Structure 1
Amino acid sequence: MSETVTGGCQCGRVRYEVGIDDDDAYLCHCRMCQRATGGVSAALKGVERARVRWTAQEPDRYRSSPIAHRGFCSACGTPLTFEFSDADSTHMDLTVGSFDQPGRFRPTQHFAIESRHAAWVDTGALPGIRSEDNPSTRDRWIRTLGHLPD
């Protein structure tokens, strides 16, 4: 059963709607994704290209390798897509963090494990701190916005 979900970049310049059939996603550990996102992996949701509708402006695209390009917002820098460049590619990936409700998605596999940084895979036992419990961060938000961001 298909459901339409929404997402976009941090500044709102690029927005999308996409029909999805499940909440399956994956973590890509390839060096290209690490460099493109600045993280140790990229959380991605594979979708059918034809089911993506850009509702504001389309993303800018960067040819990140001879076989692919990546969509991003040139205003705020948000990474949005991974797309193979060949014309017959019917699928693409959207970054999980760019969805309006990213918490719904669940990773079902790791890709490019030859580049995986094992110390960053299972971090559940590490101590955690909430944003509002860090006075430096909390006070800056309150001074600037009058409240913590969503």
Structure 2
Amino acid sequence: MNQALYQGGCLCGQIRFEARGPAANPHTCSCKLCQRHSGALTLAWVEFPRERVTWTGPGGAPATFRSPDYSSRAFCPQCGSSLGAIDDEPTVALLLGAFDSNNRKALAPTHHSFKGQRPRWWHGGESR
């Protein structure tokens, strides 16, 4: 089993994390919840068992907002950076943009969820 260590955090550094691999379900998503959570049209995610994620920064654990009914979106209460989602099941999904080193092969997305919720102009060759 890959016990790689992944580290990352928010823009201001108050919220930091360490996640121990293996990383699971690396993917991108364009659902409306992800779009509203981030302000971006697509997010890149990777999941870890909750017991393998430790909040290490001076701010402790991130603030959360319940959305949808099975998960809480995680963000820094100081700078507002989106960090991921803490699911009711024992999973923490972290945003790849929050990782210190997000170019590691194990983090490469393997599929894309909710492609149909991207704007029509994104679908290649379609007129605006």
The bucket for the TM-score relative to the shorter chain is 0.7 to 0.9
**Residue number in structure 2 paired with 1:128:** none
Gaps of 5+ in 2: none
Q: How many Å apart are 1:23 and its aligned residue?
A: 7.8
Normalising by structure 1, we get a TM-score of 0.71
Query: After the TM superposition, which of the residue ranges 93-102 and 18-27 deviates more from structure 2?
Result: 18-27
Percent of aligned pairs sharing the same letter:
33
Change (3 A) 1:53 1:94: same
The question of whether the paired residues in 2 share the 8 Å contact of 1:7 and 1:98 is answered with yes
Whether 2:114 is the aligned partner of 1:112: answer yes
Q: How many Å apart are 1:67 and its aligned residue?
A: 2.6
**Residue number in structure 1 paired with 2:40:** 39
Higher relative contact order (CA 8 A, sep 6+): 2
Cα distance in structure 2, aligned partners of 1:55 and 1:27:
26
Task: For residue 81 of structure 2, give the secondary structure of its aligned residue in structure 1.
Answer: coil
After superposition, the CA RMSD in angstroms is 2.0
Report Cα offsets for 1:26-75 as digits up to 9, x if no partner.
Answer: 10111000011000011111111110011121100011233321110011
The question of whether the paired residues in 1 share the 8 Å contact of 2:53 and 2:92 is answered with no
Larger Rg: 1
Cα distance in structure 1, aligned partners of 2:13 and 2:123:
30
Change (3 A) 1:22 1:83: closer
Q: How many Å apart are 1:108 and its aligned residue?
A: 0.5
Cα distance in structure 1, aligned partners of 2:54 and 2:13:
15
